[in-house]
A and B are shown apart, each in its own frame.
Chain A
Amino acid sequence: MLEVPQRKSEPDQELWLKEVYRFKEMVENLSGVTITPEKLKEKVKLVNKKRTLMQKINEFRKLDNPPISGLDALLVAQVSLNQDIEVFNTKCEELIEELQQRVNEGISAYEKSGPRILFAGTPSPLGNAKVHYVAEASGMQIVADESCTGLRYFRDLVDETPEDMDGMIRAIADRYMKIDCSCFSPNTERIENIVEAVKEYRADGVVHNILQFCHGFNVEAKAIDMALEKINIPSMKIISDYSDEDIEQIRVRTESFAEIVATNEAAPS
Chain B
Amino acid sequence: MSKDFRQLWTDLGVNLELHDQLMANTAKLHERTHLSQKNRPRSMEYFDHSLHASHAERVAEIKEYRDQGGKSIGTFCIYVPDEIAYAADVLPIPLCGGSGWSVNYADKMFPRDICPLVRSTFGMALSGT
B96 touches A35 (CB 8 A): no
**Per-position binary interface string of chain B over residues 29-73, scored 1 when its CB falls under 8 Å from any chain A CB and 0 otherwise:** 100011001111111101110110110001001000000001101
A228 at the interface (CB under 8 A from B): no
Interface extent on A, as a size class?
35 or more
In the A-B complex, the 5 residue pairs with the smallest Cβ-Cβ separation, listed nearest first, are A127-B98, A242-B100, A125-B98, A128-B98, A127-B99
B88 touches A35 (CB 8 A): yes
A44 touches B41 (CB 8 A): no
A39 touches B43 (CB 8 A): no
A67 touches B71 (CB 8 A): no
A40 touches B83 (CB 8 A): yes
Give min CB distance, A54 to chain B, whole Å: 12
Give the interface of A toward B (CB within 8 A).
2, 4, 20, 23-24, 27-28, 30-31, 33-36, 39-40, 42-44, 46-47, 67-69, 71-72, 75-76, 78-79, 81-85, 91, 94-95, 97-99, 102, 107-111, 122-130, 133, 148, 152-153, 158, 169, 172-173, 176, 179, 181, 211-214, 241-244
Interface extent on B, as a size class?
35 or more
The interface residues of chain B lying within 8 Å CB-to-CB of A130 are 100
B113 touches A213 (CB 8 A): yes
Known: A98-B41, A109-B37. 12 other contacts (CB 8 A): A27-B84, A75-B44, A79-B54, A83-B58, A95-B44, A97-B43, A111-B38, A123-B96, A125-B96, A127-B100, A169-B84, A213-B114
Given A47-B82, A81-B96, also A27-B54 (CB < 8 A): no
B83 touches A82 (CB 8 A): no
B1 at the interface (CB under 8 A from A): no
A126 touches B117 (CB 8 A): no
A72 touches B90 (CB 8 A): no
Sample (13) of A-B pairs whose CB atoms are under 8 Å apart: A31-B70, A35-B84, A47-B82, A71-B34, A75-B44, A82-B58, A83-B50, A83-B54, A109-B40, A126-B51, A127-B26, A176-B79, A242-B99
Given A72-B40, A111-B38, also A128-B88 (CB < 8 A): no
A to B contact number (C-beta, < 8 Å):
182
The interface residues of chain B lying within 8 Å CB-to-CB of A78 are 98
The interface residues of chain B lying within 8 Å CB-to-CB of A173 are 81
Given A76-B47, A213-B115, A242-B120, also A69-B40 (CB < 8 A): yes
Distance A33 CA – B100 CA, assembled complex (angstroms): 38
> When the two chains form the complex, which single residue of B77, B79, B117 contacts A211, counting CB atoms closer than 8 Å?
B117
The interface residues of chain A lying within 8 Å CB-to-CB of B50 are 79, 82-83, 126
Give min CB distance, B105 to chain A, whole Å: 12
> When the two chains form the complex, which single residue of B48, B70, B81 contacts A23, counting CB atoms closer than 8 Å?
B81
The interface residues of chain B lying within 8 Å CB-to-CB of A129 are 33-34
